[in-house]
Structure 1
Amino acid sequence: MNEYIIGIDIGSSNICAAAGKVDKHAEMQIMGITSSSCSGVKRGIVVDIDNTSESIKKCISSLERMVDTKVTEAYISLPGGISELILNKGVVAVSSEDREIRKNDVKRVLKASKIITIPNDKEIIGVIPQQYIIDGYDKIKDPVGMSGLRLEVDAQIILAQSTVVNNIFKSVNKAGIRVRGVVFGPIAVSGVVLKEEEIQRGVVLVDAGSESINIYIYEGGHLRNISTLPLGGNIITSDIAVCLKIPVSEAEKLKIKYANIGMDSHKDDFKIDINANYNNKVKVSYNMLNEIIEARVEEIFSLIDKEIRISEYYDKLSGVVMVGGGMALINGVEKIGKNILGKLVRTGIPKYIGASSPLYATAVGVVRDVSDSMKLKNSMDMDLSKDDDLPDYKKIIEDEDEKEKEDKGNRFISKIKDFFTDFF
């Protein structure tokens, strides 16, 4: 089991799990990836632990068959939409007599940066250093080995509601998986779909799920802003079902198979036979289907555009990258996005064999991020349980084995053309 790194992404409609391995060339390879449907999560928050746990079990069982090994531990992603970023500074004196900065000094300054006042219902999940400052000299990425008297850090403190995070942990534990650590979702995704040049110059990462859309703004090499829209791909499916008077399950199938928006004209119209209620077959117009989808996608992009424009980074942004299964899989979505956002739009696809889908970006990103941390320690065969030097946002919040024992006894709407008035 130790040769594999397992990453789990718990989404609102799907659980995705990826198994990766570091090869002899110190490169990470994805050895297996799979997903299963889930209805126990709403907008990144677990609302049904039993349902979520069963979905995780099903997903992990499928992954075990792929990699032919028993999976008992994993890293999970922490959604950015349920988190909050706070900027803070930490300051310490260099402890060694020769004034050389060592790892312990870095740990102390990061700990100092976490001394802030937080609400009772929230907790610090981790800290992301933006820059280190030595005796007034800033923009230092790695101060270890340098000399100085005073070490400072400008850091982003990640906060999340304790109950939300604990329920995610409970769901994974109940599925028989021990959580070895957490990876902050925006960090995971950006590592596999964004280029370093984009992060430096300025880019928007849009993670569109089934019930929420997380918008991450990067600039100057750092995550600058997080915002969330309370709608996602499910609202498109709902529009199709309501307008065409068909079951939601059939509407989802139509969306996945026939969605093709952004065309200048729909000349090649044809009828699609689908099963309606009581086994009755109805014919649906291909052009009408895509007009319904396009109308809602335009509205969603308008809301995304509004969120981006109210930030101070709009003029610095070079483009928009889309991931997730809510919108990124719709054919033609890049063209609609470019027209509305006024920025280049592309779909973010992990460059790994067998995982080249925006749906798998977060799960692959978790595996990639843990793999990179292993490389930093220059020990490809390290014991993953010894994670003292991993980035802070990977730390396990508490001993989940003990926690599991304790728990066993406690069981936008805006206008979108005029479709709805046409159909009713």
Structure 2
Amino acid sequence: MNEYIVGIDIGSSSVCAAAGKIDKHSEIQIMGITSSNCIGVKRGIVVDIDNTSESIKRCISSLERMVDTKITEAYIALPGGISELVWNKGVVAVSSEDREIKENDVKRVLKASKIINIPNDKEIIGVIPQQYIIDGYDKIKDPIGMCGLRLEVDSQIILAQSTVVNNIFKSVNKAGIKVLGVVFEPIAVSGVVLKEEEIQRGIALVDAGSDSINIYIYKGGSLKSISTLPLGGDIITNDIAVCLKIPILEAEKLKIKYGSVAENSFDDNFKVEVNANYNNKVKVDCNILNQIIEARVEELFSLINRELSKSEYYDELSGIVIVGGGMALINGIEEFGKDVLGKLVRVGIPKYIGAASPLYVTAVGIVKDVSNSIKLKNIPGVNPSKNNNLPDYKNIIEDENEKEMESENKTNGFISRIKDFFTDFF
């Protein structure tokens, strides 16, 4: 099992899992990827542990057949939609006599940045440093090895409701899978569909799921904001079912196979026969189908645009990237989105053979994120915290996390080993 890195994405309509392996060229290869339907999650929150765990079991069982090995361990994603970003500052004095900043100083300043007032029902699950400041000099990405008297950090504190996170862990554990670590979803997804230049210049990532749309804005090389709309692709499916008087399942099939918002989608009209209620068959006019889809997609884009316009970075956004199965699979979505939003729109697709679908971005993103850390640690003489491709917080706080988790595991026992733990959970 150690030769594979497994990532699990638990979504509202499906569970996706990907298995990757680092090849001889130190590149990650996706060896298997699959998905299964899920009805136990609503808007990123587990509402039925039994159904969710069964979906995970089916998904992992299918993945096991693909890679021909037993899977008992995996990494999971923490959804951005259930999280909250809080900005805070930490300040410490450099402890060494020669005033050289050591890794322990960075750990101390990150810990100091977590001293904030939070509601009783929430927990700090991560801290992402945005910049370090040494004796008043700012915009420092990696202070280790530099000299100074005073070390400061401007950081993002990630908050989430502890019960929500616990239920995700319980669902995975009940499926017989040990959680090796957690990856923050906005970071995982951005790693496989966004370019570094885009993240620096300004980009919006729209993760349109079945019942919610998460909007992440990146600028200056980091995540700046998270917002969520309580609507998703299911509302398009529901419109089709109601207007055409067909079952939801048939409406979803029609949307995926024939749905289009392209300019020429109304030119060649044809009818499709589908199963209606009581085993009756009806013929659906594809022009009418696409008019229904277009009306609702335009409304969703308008709501997305309204949400984006609230951001102080709106004018600096170079474009919008759409992922997820709620809208990204609709034919012509890029040009249609450009017309409505007034910005360049593209569908985010992982550049891996067999995984080139917007449905799989999170699962693939988890595998890639984990592999980046593992292969760096296996290279002699390389300090992962000084590698630009790996955010500092993933390694800087890792040792502290492992110590905290050892103590935590003695009481709750639901994670017995944390390896490459990427967020400061609990």
Structure 2 match to 1:145 = 145
- Give, in whole Å, the separation in 1 of the partners of 2:117 and 2:46: 27
Shift of 1:405: 7.1
1:238 alignment partner, SS class:
helix
For the residues of structure 1 that align with 2:311 and 2:252, how far apart are their CA atoms?
33
Is the CA contact 1:126–1:392 (under 8 Å) kept in the aligned structure 2?
Answer: no
Structure 2 counterparts to residues 18-57 of structure 1, below 5 A: 18-57=18-57
Q: CA deviation at 1:221?
A: 1.0
Q: Where does 1:1-400 land on structure 2 (aligned, <5 Å)?
A: 1-264=1-264, 266-379=266-379, 390=395, 392=397
- C-alpha RMSD over aligned residues: 2.0
| Residue in 2 that maps onto 1:403 | 412
What SS is found at the alignment partner of 2:145? coil
Equivalent pair of 1:203/1:217 in contact (CA under 8 Å): yes
Structure 2 unpaired stretches of 5+: 381-392, 416-426
1:375: how far off? 3.6
Separation in 2, partners of 1:361, 1:171: 21
SS at 1:390's partner residue? helix
Deviations 1:348-370 (A, max 9, x none): 00111111111000011111111
Contact 1:217 1:225 in 2 (8 A): yes
What's the offset of the Cα at 1:404? 6.0
Q: What is the CA–CA distance in structure 2 between the aligned matches of 1:45 and 1:126, rounded to whole Å?
A: 18
Cα pair distance change 1:8/1:400, threshold 3 Å: farther
Give the secondary-structure state (helix, strand or coil) at the position aligned to 1:152: strand
Contact 2:209–2:324 under 8 Å retained in 1: yes
> What are the superposed Cα offsets for residues 21-57 of structure 1, whole Å, 9 maximum, x if unpaired?
1222221111111111000000000000000000000
Structure 1 SS opposite 2:8: strand
**Structure 1, unaligned stretches of length 5 or more?**
381-387, 407-424
**Alpha-carbon deviation of 1:95?**
1.6
Change (3 A) 1:271 1:158: same
Distance 2:241 2:288 in 1: 12
Question: Contact 1:179 / 1:400 at 8 angstroms: preserved in 2?
Answer: no
User: What letter is aligned with 1:360?
Assistant: Y
Contact 2:103-2:396 at 8 Å conserved across structures: no
Aligned length: 400
Aligned counterparts of 2:169 and 2:201: Cα–Cα separation in 1:
36
TM-score if structure 2 supplies the norm length?
A: 0.90
Identity %: 77
**What TM-score comes out, normalization by structure 1 length?**
0.91
Change (3 A) 1:372 1:251: same
Q: Deviations over 1:303-341 (max 9, x none)?
A: 000000011111000000000011001111111110111
The alpha-carbon deviation at position 390 of structure 1 amounts to 3.4
> In the alignment, which residue of structure 1 is the partner of 2:419?
none
**Rounded Cα–Cα distance in structure 1 between residues aligned with 2:345 and 2:174:** 39
Distance in 2 between the 1:402 and 1:34 partners? 34
Residue 220 of structure 1: how far off its partner (Å): 1.1
